[in-house]
């Protein structure tokens, strides 16, 4: 954030107040209202914080009008097309792309932290088999603080580093175990000879009775899903992690809070909602009926997976994800899966319809990631845990950045109170 050079004037009644204006490296200017209450005795009112910058950050930048997403300045399409998830993790954590030696060391560190404490297996057995995997992940990740005491001191840079590596490394293991537990299969231990994405697929789909080989096309598609969901600026779950962190909570509690927030259908559940919509449509021949409903302002039906709250033109992640979706569907086929056949036809019909082009309702990353995960054989209940797995590095990067800011303080949003004014208690006999 640049030094303050410009100011804005706020006039309330007959008094005026000068508000500093900060100019970012890219993006709109920001009014600094930190001293507004002390000087003028008023708060600002911004439900959803849609016009409020709660922090400054150097990690991710989004321009919704241009359809631009940058991680440390690098466009997401370049990272997804030329890089891989653990290299992007390094970039988000440390600010620069690693050298070959740095990347090798980082990958080795993550690979050798993938196992979880054996006693943590007991936590899974405390859940019902039909428990949602996100419920299991919230509990298990929060419980990590009971097992890894040597990485909970947030004032120690080394402990913060160890906690960061542990969370990135162990989250695929925890997510895969949550899946295995939900379907009644034995846990599969991680393997150090597999890369990050292939290891996750192996832990999800391998069984002790036979060998399981991860197809490189599926592994690459999984890696892209991880990469494209790694961070997304100050969204609801990231803000939740930052707010939890502001109280001094340990890293495992903060990430568990982020997982809990991500569970909401308006946030991490979007690709699950997309698949449920495709199941509702059922078969390709019913698509015209549902497209007509989507155009009808009086019909509550919405096409899930089209358009995006942030991106006003197109989702820059969707182009790369579409390529992976096409590769996966070519590999696995759609002939025997009516959901995937419906998805392909819905994509074609929507892109060919002038109404959707005019409204800029293009397929987004949730549409394509849902198709890929469905084709791979994941149930919809696993879509959000995979999102949480992917986003962990973004949460940790934001967490580390906040803790390194000497000016950070505990979060305390204000409110517009509309309740009763002070009144006296009335004895129950007189009510």
Rounded to whole angstroms, the Cα distance separating 277 from 264 reads 17
- Comparing CA positions, the residue from 157, 143, 155 lying closest to residue 93 is 157
pLDDT digits (tens, 9 = 90+) for 379-398: 999 999 999 999 999 999 99
Q: Which residues contact 234 (CB under 8 A, 6 or more apart)?
A: 53, 54, 55, 57, 242, 398
pLDDT digits (tens, 9 = 90+) for 197-228: 999 999 999 999 999 999 999 999 999 999 99
Chain-centroid distance of CA 9 in Å reads: 37
Rounded to whole angstroms, the Cα distance separating 90 from 87 reads 5
Catalytic, 366? Answer yes
Q: Which residues contact 152 (CB under 8 A, 6 or more apart)?
A: 145, 159, 163, 250, 251, 252
Domain limits of the chain? Answer: 7-53, 74-263, 269-376
SS3 category, 127: coil
Looking at the domain 74-263, which fold is it? Citrate Synthase; domain 1 (1.10.580)
Only one residue has tokens 């466009």, namely: 75
Catalytic, 117? Answer no
Q: Which CATH class is domain 269-376?
A: mainly alpha
| DSSP characters over 320-344 | HHHHHHHHHHHHH-STT-HHHHHHH
| DSSP characters over 21-48 | EE--SSS--EE--TTHHHHHS-----GG
Rounded to whole angstroms, the Cα distance separating 110 from 197 reads 12
| Mean pLDDT (whole number) for 355-372 | 85
Could you say which of 71, 195, 308, 315 is catalytic?
308
Looking at the domain 7-53, which fold is it? Rubrerythrin, domain 2 (2.20.28)
pLDDT digits (tens, 9 = 90+) for 227-263: 999 999 999 999 999 999 999 999 999 999 999 999 9
User: What is the number of residues in the chain?
Assistant: 431
Could you say which of 195, 223, 231, 366 is catalytic?
366
């Amino acid at each position: 954030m640049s030094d303050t050079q410009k100011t804005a004037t706020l006039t309330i009644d007959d008094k005026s107040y000068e508000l500093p204006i900060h100019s970012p490296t890219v993006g709109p200017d920001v009014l600094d209202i930190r001293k507004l209450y002390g000087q003028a005795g008023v708060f600002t009112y911004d439900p959803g914080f849609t016009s409020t910058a709660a922090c400054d950050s150097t990690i991710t930048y989004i321009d919704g009008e241009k359809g631009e997403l940058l991680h440390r300045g690098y466009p997401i399409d370049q990272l997804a097309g030329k890089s891989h998830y653990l290299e992007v993790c390094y970039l988000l954590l440390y600010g620069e792309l690693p050298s070959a030696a740095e990347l090798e060391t980082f990958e080795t560190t993550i690979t050798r932290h993938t196992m979880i404490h054996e006693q943590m297996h007991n936590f899974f057995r405390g859940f019902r088999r039909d428990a949602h995997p996100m419920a299991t992940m919230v509990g298990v990740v929060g419980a990590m603080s009971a097992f890894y005491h040597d990485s909970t001191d947030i004032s120690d840079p080394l402990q913060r580093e160890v906690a960061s590596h542990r969370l990135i490394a162990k989250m695929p293991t925890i997510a895969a175990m949550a899946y295995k537990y939900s379907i009644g299969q034995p846990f599969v231990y991680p393997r150090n000879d597999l890369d990050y994405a292939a290891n996750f697929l192996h832990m999800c789909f391998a069984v002790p009775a036979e060998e399981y080989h991860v197809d490189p096309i599926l592994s690459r598609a999984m890696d892209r899903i991880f990469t494209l969901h790694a961070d997304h600026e100050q969204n609801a779950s990231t803000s939740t992690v930052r707010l939890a962190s502001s109280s001094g909570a340990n890293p495992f509690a903060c990430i568990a809070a982020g997982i809990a927030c991500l569970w909401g259908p308006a946030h991490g559940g979007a690709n699950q909602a997309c698949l449920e919509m495709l199941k509702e449509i059922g078969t390709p021949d019913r698509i015209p009926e549902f497209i007509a409903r989507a155009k009808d302002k009086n019909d509550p039906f919405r096409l899930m997976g089209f358009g995006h709250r942030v991106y006003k033109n197109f989702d820059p992640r969707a182009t790369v994800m579409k390529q992976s979706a096409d590769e996966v569907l070519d590999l696995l086929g759609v002939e025997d899966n009516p959901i995937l056949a419906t998805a392909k036809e819905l994509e074609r019909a929507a892109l060919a319809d002038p109404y959707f082009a005019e409204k800029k309702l293009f397929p987004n990353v949730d549409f394509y990631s849902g198709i890929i995960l469905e084709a791979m054989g994941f149930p919809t209940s696993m879509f959000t845990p995979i999102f949480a797995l992917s986003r962990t590095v973004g949460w940790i990067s934001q967490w580390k950045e906040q803790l390194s800011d000497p000016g950070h303080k505990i979060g305390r949003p204000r409110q517009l109170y509309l309740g009763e004014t002070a009144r006296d208690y009335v004895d129950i006999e007189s009510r």
